[in-house]
Structure 1
Amino acid sequence: MHNMINLIRNENMKIAHSISTWIMVGIVALMIVAVGLISRFAGAEAPKSDWKTDIITENESIKKNIEDAEISENSKANLTKELQTNEYHLEHNIEPIQGKSLWGFVEGIARGMIGLISLFAIIMAGGIVANEFSGGTIKLLLIRPSKRWKILLSKYIAVIGYTILMLLVLLVVSSIVGGILFGFKGAGIPFIANSNGKITEINMIAHIVQIYGLQCISLVMMVTLAFMISTVFRNSAMAIGIGVFLLTIGTTITMLLLKYNWSKYILFANVDLNQYIDGEPLVKGMTMTFSITLLIVYFVIFNVISYIGFTKRDIVA
């Protein structure tokens, strides 16, 4: 165990001493500040309105859409769910999350910038193993008494640790910037969750953590994929390129294949578990249990291939 801790510490030191690590952290922080300033000051100031009046007007529009004979059953169900949530806000005098508010900004940043974190994590995962080969330092690493699988695991843990650090930066900086720009008023307002018609009040921090957790599933899978490619092919450019390519168009390709029932087995059809909470599954018949099971299978396969590629091949030669 002590040996493993030292290996992880060594990998973390490599990451911490890399200037690219802090450039990525700085980019994330600057992007949050820039988005906050644009949201707060760009454009004309919208006239203040009563949120209750806005919801009543919105409900009237929703009711008309529900009565539309051409609307699908799924759309009608989603509209009915939205109507129930709005009526709960009115009945219990709970103001919904506004875009120009602390939690509205934090939630928007979480949904909008996880993709940037994914990009940086792929870059880190794609190079952490391959760069050891290109730089020739892999021989120095393997002369240690540590087993190969421990060296590989320490690198993977370090990448995941770096990813968690970036997420913490995203959460902390967006909370501070959101509070400064939009004020901390209303920080104690709960989030209204509607699950199949059952409405519950959730602590807003717990809601934000849930958003991060669900969004991170896609992030971890992409990091693991890039780590596998880096380990097997020993080429950081290939690992990063394939990872970024799949991150960019993976979902689009999946959408084009949705007409085939087998598309539900594609990785990108399952990484977004929000589809079971906020909407409907991409492919009829998919369930959260199915997606979680499939993601576990992909996760195991990626790591087994990484293990075989790193431990069974002649690395030193």
Structure 2
Amino acid sequence: MFNLIYNEMLKMIRKKRFWTVLLILVVLIPIFTYGQYRNAETAIKQIGTSDWRAVLQQQIIDSQNRLTSSRIPEEWKQFTKVNIQLQQYYLDHNINPQEPGAPTFTREFVEQAVSLFLPLLVVILSADLVSSEQSSGTIKLLLTRPVPRWKILSSKYISLLFSISLMLLMTAILSYLISGVIFGYKGWTLPVLTGFSQEGEQLITNNIHMIPQWKFVLMQYGLAWFSCIVVGTLSFMVSVLVRNTASSMGVMLAAIIAGTLLTQLAPTWPQLKYVAFLHLDLTNFLSGEPTMIEGITLLFSLGVLATWSIVALIISFVTFERRDVLG
């Protein structure tokens, strides 16, 4: 099994898929860093002060003004009301939720990237893991060896898990190193609030507690890792079912983007809570970001994602075992 996994990792490196993902991170993270820097500068110019309390207060006022518009859907009004309560809580307890620094950028980057950007990178790594070998015919060479099919497929899946884990590690390292050039490298011990929960339009603060930012970042990347593993598992299944690489990647890209759009276009549809791609932003449960769909908790989201992953793995192995690959 070790030799099979080693062989699969070599294939991934030689096909330059992993290096492509790293190149995307190296190019885009500086752009995101500069964008956040410019956004902060613009906010300071508009408000006329660099005091974070004044900036946060202005954000609350802007949100309250948006609530007066009759064109905003009711579910968006509920979302905004809870967000105002969250911002007011930070203000009342004199805690800057966006303290400048590379650790803060690393934290905010994974919050924004976990629902779309990171899943797209995972698709690049996993979409053609099996389909490319089926279309090129190289899978026949593997199956001529005296190795059970389940071991061959397991080695591919394990190598995918290693690749996703390494990708997330590099994301954290590059985010910290690159953003620190502008924001500085301090801030790991800054206090961060977590433990928020939501009931309708009410923000529940009974379980809120304060932890250092380094611990919060570790928790975030742990949840982001789980989300990426689920996306990789689903993409792995599609790669087994579809023989063409382009079709495999197209199906996954469409599914991820459709999940994001459905959250915006139909947040009141209760059946959406069972769609896997609506639960990828697990880090929101740590930061207290309100959810658009009622009745969703961290345990519920983890359960939905785990169920989809288990079903996807079963389909993958059953299909691969029964398929006439040599024909």
Number of aligned residue pairs: give it.
Answer: 306
2:89 to 80, 84, 90: 84
Matching residue's letter, 2:105 = F
Partner of 2:199: none
For the Cα contact (< 8 Å) 2:104–2:187, is it kept in 1?
no
CA drift at 1:293: 2.2
Q: Distance in 2 between matches of 1:106 and 1:52?
A: 22
Do residues 205 (structure 1) and 202 (structure 2) align?
no
Structure 2 SS opposite 1:202: strand
CA drift at 1:81: 3.7
For the Cα contact (< 8 Å) 1:110–1:211, is it kept in 2?
yes
1:23 to 20, 23, 33: 20
Identity over aligned pairs, percent: 29
Could you report, residue by residue, the CA deviation over 1:8-64 in whole angstroms, capped at 9, with x for unpaired residues? 111011112223431321221121123334544797785653345555x45984998
2:248 to 239, 242, 248: 239
Do residues 292 (structure 1) and 302 (structure 2) align?
yes
Matching residue's letter, 2:210 = E
Deviates more, 1:231-240 or 1:190-199: 190-199
Partner of 1:270: 279
Could you report, residue by residue, the CA deviation over 1:134-177 in whole angstroms, capped at 9, with x for unpaired residues? 22211111122221111111111111211111111110011111
Partner of 1:173: 174
1:180–1:60 Cα change, 3 Å: closer
1:146–1:290 Cα change, 3 Å: same
> What stretches of structure 1 of length at least 5 have no aligned partner?
none
Q: Distance in 2 between matches of 1:30 and 1:59?
A: 30
> What stretches of structure 2 of length at least 5 have no aligned partner?
197-203
Deviates more, 1:297-306 or 1:71-80: 71-80
Larger Rg over CA atoms: 1
For the Cα contact (< 8 Å) 2:267–2:292, is it kept in 1?
yes
Please list, as runs of the form range in 1=range in 2, the aligned pairs for 1:251-262 lying within 5 A after superposition: 251-262=260-271
1:38–1:269 Cα change, 3 Å: closer
Structure 1 SS opposite 2:209: strand
**Aligned-CA RMSD value:** 3.2
1:130–1:291 Cα change, 3 Å: same
Q: Distance in 1 between matches of 2:6 and 2:225?
A: 24
Structure 2 SS opposite 1:192: strand
Q: Distance in 2 between matches of 1:205 and 1:225?
A: 31
Partner of 1:250: 259
Deviates more, 1:26-35 or 1:74-83: 74-83
For the Cα contact (< 8 Å) 1:221–1:299, is it kept in 2?
yes
1:233–1:51 Cα change, 3 Å: closer
1:240–1:60 Cα change, 3 Å: closer
CA drift at 1:203: 1.8
1:249–1:287 Cα change, 3 Å: same
For the Cα contact (< 8 Å) 2:79–2:291, is it kept in 1?
no
Matching residue's letter, 2:18 = T
Matching residue's letter, 1:88 = H
Q: Distance in 2 between matches of 1:49 and 1:294?
A: 42
Structure 2 SS opposite 1:30: helix
1:256–1:52 Cα change, 3 Å: closer
Could you report, residue by residue, the CA deviation over 1:276-317 in whole angstroms, capped at 9, with x for unpaired residues? 452444433333333322222211111111011111122111
Matching residue's letter, 1:297 = T
Could you report, residue by residue, the CA deviation over 1:177-205 in whole angstroms, capped at 9, with x for unpaired residues? 12222112434212122523143221212
Do residues 142 (structure 1) and 151 (structure 2) align?
no
1:284–1:315 Cα change, 3 Å: same
Could you report, residue by residue, the CA deviation over 1:86-118 in whole angstroms, capped at 9, with x for unpaired residues? 2222xxxx54423x4323322232234443332
For the Cα contact (< 8 Å) 1:119–1:244, is it kept in 2?
yes
Q: Distance in 2 between matches of 1:39 and 1:78?
A: 20
1:61–1:142 Cα change, 3 Å: same
Please list, as runs of the form range in 1=range in 2, the aligned pairs for 1:1-317 lying within 5 A after superposition: 4-40=1-37, 46=45, 49-52=50-53, 54=55, 57=57, 61=61, 76-89=81-94, 94-98=95-99, 100-114=100-114, 115-195=116-196, 196-197=204-205, 198-274=207-283, 276-277=285-286, 278-317=288-327
Q: Distance in 1 between matches of 2:242 and 2:85?
A: 51
For the Cα contact (< 8 Å) 1:123–1:240, is it kept in 2?
yes
1:237–1:292 Cα change, 3 Å: same
